[in-house]
Structure 1
Amino acid sequence: MEKTQEVAVEQMRAAIEKLGSSAEGEADGKLMMFLVARSMDTEKAAEMYLQWKRWRAEIAPRGFVPDDEVVDELNARKSFLQGVNKAGHATVVILGRNHFASKDFLQFKKFVAYMMDKGLASCDGIVEEGKERVACVLDLQQLSMANLDVRGGIEGFQILQEYYPGRLTKFFIINVPFIFAAAWKIISRFLDKATAEKVQIVKTERQRKEMLKEMGEELLPAEYGGSAKLVPLQNVKLKNRPPTN
């Protein structure tokens, strides 16, 4: 970390203390994500960090989201954790055809946190603490009107933007049907510039090859051009509890 960044982190820690809280034990790299998300404004970054702490207290009061709190979402078998690619990013695949708008919206929000936490935790020991990242592929093959969930899409991206700043590296959307266009037009309005730049709708063979290279051929299933089998999120066992961001 550069000297200017170290100074900014220390100033942010001081700003957090002035607001009556503490960032003791938090990795500098993690705090840097809040700083970057707030254009290195230490006071705004401190406020964002405290907002995140309040959110975590609601979503994961035990420090993590246990499986039994997201049973319905896990049973849908819509999310898969394929391992960590050569860049040190956790590779997640989401099957849109297995998603339906949740009747329990709190459980859905907990599930987004569960998925991100588990993806980040899978990077443990591979990359430096605070530098864990997640890359996603959203597959819309066989998507039906019943699978369209504008509210869920907006909430999912807002969780990434507000509570996992800088953690998403790439979000590929593949096999896009025409029925998705109207929903995406609404959802995309809620993406900040940084997130929008990471989303790529794959339309050409060249773009598909780029996705395969970025995500890792050895981690994606054969139908995407890779050589792996899909691994349900709940089947991935980790030695340590997921990090809280």
Structure 2
Amino acid sequence: MGSSHQEAIKQIHLLMEEVDEPLEHTFWNMHQGYPTETLVRFLKARDWNVSKAHKMLVDCLQWRIQSEIDNILMKPIIPIDLYRAVRDSQLLGLSGYSKEGLPVIAVGVGLSTFDKASVNYYVQSHIQMNEYRDRVVLPSATQKHGRYIGTCIKILDMTGLKLSALNQIKLMTVISTIDDLNYPEKTETYYIVNAPYIFSACWKVVKPLLQERTRKKIQVLRGCGRDELLKVMDYASLPHFCRKEGSGSSRHYGNGLAHNCFSLDHAFHQELYNYIKQQAVLREPVSPIKQGSFHVRFPEPDPEEANIAKTIESEFQKFENQNGLAKSLNDLRVNGA
């Protein structure tokens, strides 16, 4: 790290010494004993501009206070059937760890439907995953390996990606904006697998719009990406949707829900849900746990994020129009015959 970066870290440390107690408290919940590493994430997200990084961090801390993010791991989504419905339609889970000890987060982009609960429940669930990762999973990995581990790997499964995904762009933009503004630089690498033609066509248009820092993190793998991913993680940590290629793979992969890292029956989700219920009881041991979603203030997407969302929507629309025209021509041929 160069001297200019060291100076930037020093400056932002000094600025953070001036924040009031509520901001300082929620900042501790963020950094979990690693303030410098957290400050570096915000500096990277703003290209090492100290004033912009400081503003981004203060805005994040104020968002955490206003939205009571420090308490979100005390707010289980109940009843359990509702949470199971969320898990079945918001495909997200931890499948294991890389060879370097980084958590492997699997995301079912193509098959997530987000149609079993309100938007607030999906946002609540996503933020709970983020907070559990940052407050429990990453500190445990750091302790286990004896060195700081503050990032994860994400594997995005595009299986089943369809034009109907247009209906989900608004919600996905909300979630993406929350991550970009409040959990920056938490992902080391994005691996995209099982990409259909519609993704490949869209990616060609979207890729140039991304910042170089983001583009470098994204790797589009062939097929389910099994062989490439085995270079960075063991077979046991592969998400279930990456275990299709190669002889003998079916012998290692069962069909039970416990093997599906998206399912509530998976060990990770059982641990997460039990943790949240325990935290709720510790906070209010006498009062019954209340139902209802945890409302979070949705931040406005920055212009770049909004532009990318519009581009994706436009490309999907073009694809839909082309498909519609092809179907019409095919119908004419069939009827003409």
- What TM-score do the two structures reach when normalised by structure 1? 0.76
Greater share of residues in helix: 2
Summarize the alignment of residues 72-91 of structure 1 with structure 2, pairs less than 5 Å apart. Answer: 72-76=85-89, 78-91=91-104
In structure 1, the residue corresponding to 2:154 is in which secondary structure?
strand
Structure 1 residues 98 and 4: CA distance shift in structure 2, 3 A: same
In structure 2, the residue corresponding to 1:100 is in which secondary structure?
coil
- What TM-score do the two structures reach when normalised by structure 2? 0.58
In structure 2, the residue corresponding to 1:46 is in which secondary structure?
helix
Letter in 1 for 2:164: A
**Residues 34 and 49 in structure 1, CA contact (< 8 A), matched pair in contact too:** yes
Summarize the alignment of residues 91-240 of structure 1 with structure 2, pairs less than 5 Å apart. Answer: 91-101=104-114, 104-120=118-134, 121-127=136-142, 131-148=149-166, 149-181=168-200, 191-203=210-222, 208-221=226-239, 223-225=241-243, 227=252, 229-231=259-261, 232=263, 234-237=269-272
Structure 1 residues 222 and 50: CA distance shift in structure 2, 3 A: closer
Partners of 1:222 and 1:112 in 2: CA distance:
20
Equivalent of 1:68, from 52, 63, 77?
77
Whether 2:60 is the aligned partner of 1:52: answer yes
**Residues 91 and 135 in structure 1, CA contact (< 8 A), matched pair in contact too:** yes
Deviation at 1:151, TM superposition (A): 2.4
Q: Structure 1: give runs of 5+ residues left out of the alignment.
A: none
Letter in 2 for 1:125: S
Structure 1 residues 4 and 192: CA distance shift in structure 2, 3 A: closer
**Residues 158 and 192 in structure 2, CA contact (< 8 A), matched pair in contact too:** yes
| Structure 1 stretch displaced more, 146-155 or 165-174 | 146-155
Partners of 2:131 and 2:234 in 1: CA distance:
20
Larger radius of gyration: 2
**Residues 48 and 162 in structure 1, CA contact (< 8 A), matched pair in contact too:** yes
Identity of aligned residues (%): 19
**Residues 59 and 109 in structure 1, CA contact (< 8 A), matched pair in contact too:** no
Deviation at 1:181, TM superposition (A): 4.8
* Cα deviations by residue, 1:66-102 (Å, 9 ceiling, x for unpaired): 3318835334261121132221211111223441245
Letter in 1 for 2:76: D
Q: Aligned residue pairs: how many? A: 240
In structure 2, the residue corresponding to 1:88 is in which secondary structure?
coil
In structure 1, the residue corresponding to 2:139 is in which secondary structure?
coil
Letter in 2 for 1:170: T
| Structure 1 stretch displaced more, 122-131 or 112-121 | 122-131
Partners of 1:60 and 1:83 in 2: CA distance:
29
Letter in 1 for 2:36: D
Partners of 1:76 and 1:59 in 2: CA distance:
24
Partners of 1:214 and 1:15 in 2: CA distance:
38
